[in-house]
Structure 1
Amino acid sequence: MSHLPTTRRQFLAASGVCLALPWLERFASANDAANVPNRAVFLFVPNGVNMWEWHPATTGKDYELTPPLRNLAGLRDRFTAFSGLQHIKTGGGHQEAALWLTGNPNYASRKEIYVTPNTISIDQHIARAMGRQTRWPSMVVGADGGQYTCSFNAEGRPVLADFDLASIFAELVGADPKSRLPQRGSILDLVADQATSLRRDLGKSDERKLDEYVESIRAVERRVQADIAWKSSPRLDSIQEDRLNLRADPHNTPDGVDFVDTMLELIYLALRIDCTRVVAFSAYRSSQCCVLKHLGFDVHDEGHGSGDALPEDKPKQFANLSKADAWWTTRLARFLDRLRTTREGEHDMLRHTTVLYGSGMSWPSTHRNHNLPILLAGGEGVGFAHGRHIAFNGQQKDLPNEKHEHLKGPKLGPDAVSMSDLLRTISERMGVPAEGFGESRRVLAELLA
C-alpha cells in the first residue's frame, strides 16, 4: 500500500493524524455526485463448502435459498449465485488461492499456495489501470499474511498480504502506528474541535453520515487497541516475525472472530474514504483454517473426513462443514449490509462496489475444483443485474443419485464458460479491458442488466 496524495477527500488533521472524511454532499461537486467511484472487492475463503447444501436446485429469480445462503435473505436482490463455474485447466488443491484470481492454466504445483510460473491476478490487473486514483493502488490483506495471498503482480509474484490490524488502521488515519497511535485515548479526541466546527456547516443528512463514520472509527479503534495490548503480551516473545512469511499469529483472540470482523470493517472504511478501490482478502491457508478454531473442529480435516460420502454416511463431518459455511456467509451478509446502508450520492455504496465471494475448491474431500461455490454482489452501477441463480455448463445442484456419481465432475471443452470469464467481466465492467485474461473467451452478458 502506497501513500499517494488524494484530492477527492477533505481531511481533519491534528497532531500527526490526518483523518479522511467520507462522501459528504457539503463538499461534493456536481462532478463528484455524478461520478461516485466504482470498486471491486475479492473475498477468498479456502477449502470449499458442504456441496450437498450450497447450490440451489433451480435457476432464475424464484430459486429457493439454500441453508448457507439464507443468511443473505435480506440481500437476495443484490447478489447472484452461480453454478457450473470453474477454471477449466486450473486445478484446486492447496494451490487454490494462487489460482483463484489468476485462472492460470500453465503452472507447476508446489507446496501450499505456491505455483510457478504464475500470472497476474484480476485485482492487480484492475489496480494497474486505476490504482493511481487513490492513496493505495490496492489493499491486499489476509489472516496468514505475507505470501499467503490470492493477489499476484504482473510478474506473477505474490503481492504480500498485510494482517496487522493496528498498522492498517494507522495508515488509514495517517498516523505512525509506533509513535502516534493512541493506546489509551482516541484519535478522535485529536480532531474533536475540527469535527465540531465542521458539523456546524453540515446539513442533517451529512451530519448523520459524519456521526455514523465517527462511530465506525471509534468501534474499530477499540478493537485495534485490544489488538495492541495483545501484541505487547509475553506470549509474543517466542514468535519470530518475518515480513516475507509473517508467521506471527494475527488474531487478537484465540478464535479469530474479532480478527475477521475487524478486517472486514477496515476494508469498509478504506473504501468509504476512497483510500483504495480494489481489495483482495485471503481468509487463511487451505491447510490451516486458523480463524475458525472457535467452532471446535478443523475445517480442512473435516473436509477430508467427509470423503466421497453421502450426507447420511458422514453426518458429523458435513454438519461441521455447514457450520463453517454459515459462519462465513454471516460475515459476508454483514459486510454487504454495511455497504448497502451507507448512502453515497443518490445511491448506496453497494451499488458502486462489486464484491466477489467464493472458494477455489468445491468438494473439500479431495480438493476438487469443479462447480465452484461463487457469489457476486453489488456493482449495479456498472451494469450487474442480480437476484438470480445462474447455472453455466449445464450444471446445477449436485444431487445424490448413485453413490459417488456426484463427485466425478463434468468434462468441459474449450468452449465452456470458465471462472476466468467472470473475472474478465468484472474487470471490463470496471472499465479495464481484460480480453484473453486467464482462460477467458467472452464477457458474460448473462450477468448484465
Structure 2
Amino acid sequence: MSAGAGSAAAPASADVVPSPDRNVIGGCLLRFDGAGQPYLSPSLGRPCIGAVSITRTGLGDLEIHLAPGARYPQTRLLVSADTTLASRGITVGASRSPRSIALRFFDSRSGKRVDMRSTAQRARVARGGASVGWLGRSAVNTTQLDPGVDAYGRFHDRLATDDQTVAGGCVIRFSSTGPKIHANSTHHCTGVRSVGISTLGRMRIVYSDEQRGSTINVSADPDETLVRRGIITGISSSPAELHVDLFDARSKKRVDLRRLADRKVMAGAFANIWVAWTKTTTRPGLANATTTPALDKYGQFVHGSAPAGGVRQTGCEIRFGGTGAHPSVTSTSTSSCTGAASVSVGPSGTLRVVAAEGTSGPIIATTTVSSRSAADYGIRAGASGGGATTDYRFYSIRLARTLDLRKAADRDLFRRTNAAVVLGWSRPAPPTNVVASPAGG
C-alpha cells in the first residue's frame, strides 16, 4: 500500500486549532497494596484531580470513575505504569467511556494480560502503580467551572483548567554513554534542568527550577526505534524529579543504565523517549510550578517553563474499521479530535498523521496510549517526527514482532479486537501579537 492509501481526514467537527480556555485537565496516581488491591493515592506531590474512585470490573480490568467535572470528551490520554511495574515488564492500556477510564495491564514475561480477579495475578502488581491523566474539552469557557479543591478529600479535586496548570515535556536521546536532552529548532524541551542516570540504573530527569511542583499527570513513551526493540517504560515523579525505568520485552530483562551493555541496548542515532507532564501553578496548598518561560535558560531550545497558554495540547483517537480495516479518526461524545488533518498508512507500514494547519511547528512531546483491548496483544506504539507529519510504529509484545500496517492482517488485528490508539501532541503555542497602547493613551 502506498503512502496515503486508506487515508482519512479528521471529521468536520474536529476542533483543529483548539482554544486553551476550554481545556479541562485531570490525572491521578493509582497504587496497589501488598495484596494487589488498587487504590487512588492523592498527595501533595501527586494530587488526584478528576477521579473519584477505582473498582475492579467483571472482566478483571480496573475502572477509574470520573468526577462530574471531568466527564468531557477526551482529547488526550497520558497513561504509564510506574517504575516498579515496568521493572517487572508490565505495561498498561486504557479506554475511555463517558464516565470512566478502564485500564488493562499486560505482563510481557508471561505474554498475557493481568486478570485482577486472580489473587495469583494480582501478586504481579503488588506494591506497584500507574499514572493516568487526560485532557478534555469543555463546552464552555473554563472560567465558569468550579475546580472543587479538596472536594473528595485532601489533595483530591474535581478538575483543573489550562490557566491553573502548565505543561512540560522533552525528547530524550540515548547513546552508549547514556541519555541526554535532544533539543533543536524542531524539538523544544520545556521544564527540564538535566538528564542522567539514577543510582538504581533508571533514567533520571531533574525538573527545571521553574517547573518544580506538584504533578497532575505524566507519561514516558519510547519512539519508533525503541518500540521496534520491545522497550517498555515506567515512570515515577516527585515535584523535583522524574525517573523512568526501562524493560526489554525481547530478552525479558530490566535495562540497567549503569551497565554499558544495557546502554547499548538503548543507544541509536534516532533512539528516543518522549516524556510529557502537567504541573499545577495556582492550586492552594500544593508545591506549584511557575509560568516564567526562562527561554534557553538550560541550553538552546531548553526552556524553564512556558507562559499561561504557552503550550498547545492536541490529540486524536484512531481506530481501524470498515472494509480493509483502514485507519480513521474518531470523534464522538467521549472523544474529541484536535490537531490532526488526516491519518493514513505510511510507506513503511507506520500510522502516519498529518498535523492540521495552524497546529504544526516545533514539538515538545508526543504521547501514545493503546486501548485496553490492544493490551491483550501487548501492543505499543512509538512516534518519530512530530512536526507537520508524525509516524507511529506498532510492536506487539505477545507476537514478538513489529506490526506492518500495509498488511491487511495486521490492520485487521486492531479491527477484530475493536482496538484504538489515542495520540497526543504538546507544542509551543504561536506567540500572541500584542499591540502596545500609544503613550498617554
Query: Considering the TM-score relative to the shorter chain, is it more than 0.5?
Result: no
Of Structure 1 and Structure 2, the greater helix share is in: 1
More RCO (CA 8 Å, sep 6+): 1
Q: TM-score range by the shorter chain?
A: under 0.3
With normalisation by structure 1, the TM-score equals 0.23
